[in-house]
Structure 1
């Protein structure tokens, strides 16, 4: 299959596409920054795309480089953008991405590849197994305890849980982290409510309450709560992935 646009893999083995290469491949004449702005609010930053710096020569043959803005897109996002152009080129590129995905899945399902990937990922752990076991003991015990919880808690209570286990974070900073990383809505009537993606994954639920106003009318309030599964997810994420380093 001819390579129309390069599809690369990140460290997690996820396929990614350069937004600038897609912009060029689609033959878009509009300036790149204006073109991409139309899609930013349609997708989740950190899930569907992430910003990266792209070193580029000032001019052809120059030894000086400048860093320009680029974005790495999920293949799903790249397919949707290509389809939305409603051009023959867009349809061709969309079909190309579908084929790339099929070949990638077929490759991952090859038992020889699975064995090689398993050995590769396991080797560093085998080399440091004793150290890893000791480091993970308290984290595993705590995560298991959280997992048995059937009670959903407030985001502020989750911040306390995380802080009690060595990662200092308050309610406001945790809310900001959840918004910035696509777990909660950033604005509008859904502000601070969980996005549907993570409700479907069972990390959050929304409690609806009705209140009677002094004039006799009724108003509804909505409270974001973290499920037992969500508590385990976020505690593990902060303890094992050092996500506290990404909090502003």
Structure 2
């Protein structure tokens, strides 16, 4: 089997490079925008992937790449819902199967190719890894629900601690809608979403994404709608807009 996507050994565990997977999947978005969106599906640094900085061809400006576990790579491929995504997922499954009995099934040429890939990984990429960090991608800042933010229900309860405010979850949704922070989608799965320009990019709200799930009725993978979260900045602006009179106790 030809190597569609190079497989590397990371601490004895097979893995792939994020940019290699991005290229194979033929994703139109820039890697620095695409990968943070994939991470927002619930993957964890240090467990599912490792970030590092590398200079292309050993020179020029460093760029961020990631070492991804095969489990994460399979799930990312499935999320794409494309033929390339299906092909990549089946390829990773086959790679895992062969890894359990590599000598018996790999040809001499394939063993040589694997040795070359491992050498390249060690020399060009893993030795180039540094702890230097770039500014986080905008999509990660706006999509990842950082520690300290609130569900709308929690935000309503916190705001109601002020003697001058009495508001529930549904009322708070309607109030944020009146402020132009959120909008209601249409269809059988209608839900509230935060506006990019007035809420997410301003740091008032965030979206928390859940992992896709298998719809047993249709047999298709479905993506749950994003959950609206209220940031500390948004909470204080809501407190002020609602005419709060006391100290806001978070």
TM-score, structure 2 length as denominator? 0.40
TM-score, structure 1 length as denominator? 0.41
Structure with the larger RCO, 1 or 2 (CA within 8 Å, 6+ apart)? 2
- Which one has a larger percent helix, Structure 1 or Structure 2? 1
